[in-house]
Structure 1
Amino acid sequence: MKQLTGLDATFLYMETPTQFGHVSGLSIFRRPDDPDYDPLAAWCAEIARRMHRLEPLRRRVRDVPFRLDHPYWEDDPDFDLEYHVRHTAVAPPGTDHQLGELVARIIGRPLDRRRPLWESYVIEGLPDDRFGILTKIHHATVDGASGAELLTMMLDDSPDADHAADDAAEPWTPSPPATDAGVLARATLGLARKPARALVLGARTARDVGRATRNPVLVAAAGQVRSNLRGPVGTVLNLGRDRGTEGRVAGPLPEAMGPPTPFNATVTAHRRFAFRSTSLSAVKDVKRAMGATVNDVVMAMCAGGLRRWLADHDALPDRALVAMVPISVRTGEEAERWTNRVSALFSALPTDEDDPLERVRKVNGAMVGAKGLFDAVPAEELTDFTQFAPPAVFAGAMRTALRLTGRLASPVNLVVSNVPGPRQPLYSAGAELLHYYPVSTIVDGQGLNITVQSYRDTLDVGLVACRELVPDLWDMCDHIVEELAVLGEAVGVDVAL
């Protein structure tokens, strides 16, 4: 058994009947030249032969009695692959809008906590000899980076890959589940040190925030607390922790509150999903012409597209939106591979700027400022806070905070995420992967999520929204992709949509 980190468990605690902790991905494949090819049978066989390597697909959540500590992962003793892999189809003609509607209905249902937290749907009925695979997996299991790694482990790098190693591997067999008494005994071992460690962490983070915001009172207060914890007491409280160096960095705090928009409200359980693709090479040409980054261009596309959509609805604020931008804090040296190592930046999204090139420049400046603050307060310290609250208290506080965010002004308008994906072609049982559209999650107060993922030379864009808050999500998606052509025209780059 392995215990969930506080951050992993947070994605379980946030769930309500209307907001879910799972994320998904829609893969579009081209059938191989085999008239007998069966996508469902082939996909089941590919997962089965790799099951000994796919730990996140085999484990289920085991709660600690009385919810005294965060839950554990344990092998599912009754693992049933046929339960997790399902078969469906869209009716003719199988348009993108039909596929988006099917995906929206599937992601609007929670995962069963009694089983491993994933489902995979093989979707037939698409034109041009294509089929889709939608895979739902809980965010408690993987983050964006580890999810991309899991995808590559489930696929091949050639249409005729050699599976001899997997076929010869020892078949996976589940470990017997622990007793409630065993789980409780294991959980209580780490409880005693948590309040003291929380005090150390709080003092350190207060000091870093004080330096970042140039607040000498906060720095001095934190220093006083830390000085009282030095000596033998501090040594005990920091056992096993690399205290590292204490560098001085400074940077401004971002604006805390986003302006109101139609999608900043309480969400329902109903979803919409829209998707499109564009050229990654064109994005890179624009970024080179501007002296910016790929992420700057992507965020500027989102800003321009949202500006058009908001203006169409007479809802364009006179100041910039605020976007939460998830970022990976993986170093490659983590002892645990399948866990969340993610934090976030908060950046202005210049929807209030009319000039498309100036939007790129403003995004770049906002991201530089946000990264300065992020570096001032190490991401590990921010995510470590989730380790200390008792799960019953933390879960209630999380849900209450999200409900209030939906009813009051939201500090963040939306999530914008840019996930780098594989550059080489991938295959499943000979079927070529054409696109991988990310399908993320939304919460109360933030009824819109924009996630893009690169694959080969393509940028695949996926938008998820509350069905009642954004009825014309496809229009918004079109505006965002069309914004790349606007930027290309401004810098002399030809963009074919």
Structure 2
Amino acid sequence: MFVATTLFLKDTMTPLNSGRKKEGVVGPRRFVYRTVSLDDIKLIKNGMKTTINDVVMGVSLAGLSRYLNTRYGEAKEDKGATEKKNNLPKNIRLRATLIMNVRPSSGIHGLAEMMEKGSKAKWGNKIGFVLLPFNIALQDDPLDYVRQMKATIDRKKHSREAMVTFFIIEMVLKLFGAKTAAFLLHRVVNHTTTCFSNIVGPVEEISFYGYPMVFIAPTVYGQPHGLMIHFLSYNNKMTLVLSVDEETVPNPHQAMR
């Protein structure tokens, strides 16, 4: 899948990527966020015997499906489409690029520990990709979105896709140099619809120069995706952040519903 995506396999043209700028050109972006209780997410997780990651991915699938359904409905001539009416075309290929750190020892380590001979704590990150498909469809039961994403993520966990893509990129970097490796990475990202990250933040409240931090909302700028989704847990809260291209997603608050 990684090789095919690099060479020719592109996602379906949808309202989430039809406004993408030309390659190498970054347009204005908007950033919106929403904070919810982490206890609510844990309640679903425990009831369905899944993980927090499964739940937030299910929430993302539900949001993407409903947002695209609304956008396709608005494009119809009769203008009578509602969110309950299925306006989605069939067989939409929509994938998210998940960037993962595959180094054996994760977390933060002291400098002295990293400099010890034979230490498992290595310098830097080892970045691999996972291409996660989203089955865009309307579901009567909202929990079906979580069930679908759990099944997809479970398959990906057994595929070792992140390790394989890391070794491919590392081999290309050693054989052909950084410019070719960067071109390869850009091709993969540019042929998918969105990028997704889910980070475990501090469990307790932290402060910055004595000022307590109420919430943390991470995001990035410069990627070719018209939509990027971030989840970060912090102090028993979960913050969802959308980074959107203004031309692609002119109404980001609607996508946040």
Counterpart CA distance in 2 for 1:384 and 1:309 is 37
- 1:335 corresponds in structure 2 to 122
Q: 1:30-109 residue pairs with structure 2 within 5 A?
A: none
Deviation, structure 1 residue 375: 5.7
TM-score normalised by length of structure 1: 0.40
Q: Compute the displacement of 1:347 (Å).
A: 1.9
Unaligned runs of 5+ in 1: 1-208, 210-255, 480-497
Residue in structure 1 matched with residue 11 of structure 2 by the alignment: 258
Q: Is 2:51 aligned against 1:293?
A: yes
- SS in structure 2 at match of 1:343: strand
What is the letter of the counterpart of residue 261 of structure 1? T
* CA gap 1:463/1:391 in 2 versus in 1, 3 angstroms: same
Matched, 1:425 2:211: no
Query: What secondary structure is seen at the aligned counterpart in 1 of 2:91?
Result: coil
RMSD of aligned residue pairs (Cα, Å): 2.7
Determine the structure 1 residue equivalent to 2:90: 318
- 1:237-386 counterparts in 2 under 5 A? 257-265=10-18, 266-267=20-21, 268-314=26-72, 316-319=88-91, 321-332=94-105, 333-336=120-123, 339-354=124-139, 355-374=141-160, 377-378=163-164, 380-386=166-172
Q: Which amino acid counterpart does residue 29 of structure 2 have in structure 1?
A: R
2:222, 2:53 → 1: CA distance?
21
Indicate the residue corresponding to 2:113 in structure 1: none
Q: Which residue of 1 aligns with 2:231?
A: 452
Cα distance in structure 1, aligned partners of 2:103 and 2:150: 23
The question of whether the paired residues in 1 share the 8 Å contact of 2:128 and 2:165 is answered with yes
Residues in 2 aligned to 1:280 and 1:376: alpha-carbon distance in whole angstroms: 27
Q: Distance in 1 between matches of 2:60 and 2:162?
A: 27
Alignment deviations for residues 187-217 of structure 1 (CA, whole Å, 9 cap, x no partner) = xxxxxxxxxxxxxxxxxxxxxx9xxxxxxxx
Aligned length: 214
**Cα distance, 1:284–1:356 mapped onto 2, change above 3 Å:** same
The answer to whether 1:391 aligns with 2:178 is yes
Letter matched to residue 15 of structure 2:
P
C-alpha deviation, 1:283, in angstroms? 0.4
Measure the CA separation in 2 of the matches of 1:443 and 1:376.
20
TM-score (norm 2): 0.73
Report deviation, 1:364: 0.8
Output one character per residue of 1:117-166: Cα deviation in whole Å (capped at 9) or x when no partner.
xxxxxxxxxxxxxxxxxxxxxxxxxxxxxxxxxxxxxxxxxxxxxxxxxx
Greater helix proportion: 1
- Does structure 1 conserve the Cα–Cα contact (< 8 Å) formed by 2:129 and 2:162? no
Structure 2: distance between partners of 1:400 and 1:376: 16
Greater shift in the superposed pair: 339-348 or 433-442 = 339-348
Q: What is the CA–CA distance in structure 2 between the aligned matches of 1:319 and 1:359, rounded to whole Å?
A: 17
Secondary structure of 1:269's counterpart equals coil
For residues 272 and 289 of structure 1, do their structure 2 counterparts lie closer, same or farther at Cα, with a shift above 3 Å needed?
same
1:313 CA drift (Å) = 0.8
Q: Which amino acid is the alignment partner of residue 178 of structure 2? A: P
Q: Percent identity?
A: 24
1:350 deviates by 2.9
Moved more, 429-438 or 320-329: 320-329
Structure 1 residues 390 and 377: CA distance shift in structure 2, 3 A:
closer
- The Cα offsets for residues 387-431 of structure 1, whole Å up to 9 and x where unpaired, read as 222335555x4598479x4xxxx3x22112111111011012221
> Does the 8 A contact of 1:260 with 1:317 survive in 2?
no
CA shift, 1:304, in A, is 0.9
Residues 353 and 400 (structure 1), Cα distance of their counterparts in 2 relative to 1, 3 Å cut: closer
Q: Return the alpha-carbon distance in structure 2 between the equivalents of residues 452 and 366 of structure 1.
A: 19
Which of 458, 462, 474 is the equivalent residue of 2:241? 462
What is the letter of the counterpart of residue 293 of structure 1? T
1:286 aligns to what SS in structure 2? helix
1:368 Cα deviation from its structure 2 partner: 1.2
Contact 1:300 1:349 in 2 (8 A): no
Q: Partner of 1:278: helix, strand, or coil?
A: strand
TM-superposition CA deviations, 1:416-475 (whole Å, max 9, x none) = 21111110110122211110001124633x311001111010001111111111100122
| Residue aligned with 1:417, SS | strand
Q: Distance in 1 between matches of 2:62 and 2:219?
A: 21
Q: Distance in 2 between matches of 1:398 and 1:383?
A: 8
- 2:228, 2:242 within 8 Å by CA — same for their partners in 1? yes
Unaligned residue ranges in structure 2 (runs of 5+): 3-8, 74-87, 106-119
Please list the CA deviations of residues 21-46 of structure 1 after superposition, one character each: whole Å capped at 9, or x if unmatched.
Answer: xxxxxxxxxxxxxxxxxxxxxxxxxx
SS in 2 for 1:331: coil
Residues 441 and 376 from structure 1, CA distance in 2 versus in 1: closer, same or farther, beyond 3 angstroms? closer
Going from structure 1 to structure 2, the CA distance change for 1:330 and 1:424 (only over 3 Å counts) comes to farther
- Displacement of 1:295 in angstroms is 0.7
Once residues 152 and 142 of structure 2 are traced to their aligned partners in structure 1, the CA distance between those partners, rounded to angstroms, is: 15
> What is the CA–CA distance in structure 2 between the aligned matches of 1:319 and 1:276, rounded to whole Å?
30
Aligned mate of 1:436, from 203, 216, 227:
216
CA contact (8 A) 2:102 2:125 kept: no
Q: CA deviation at 1:367?
A: 0.8
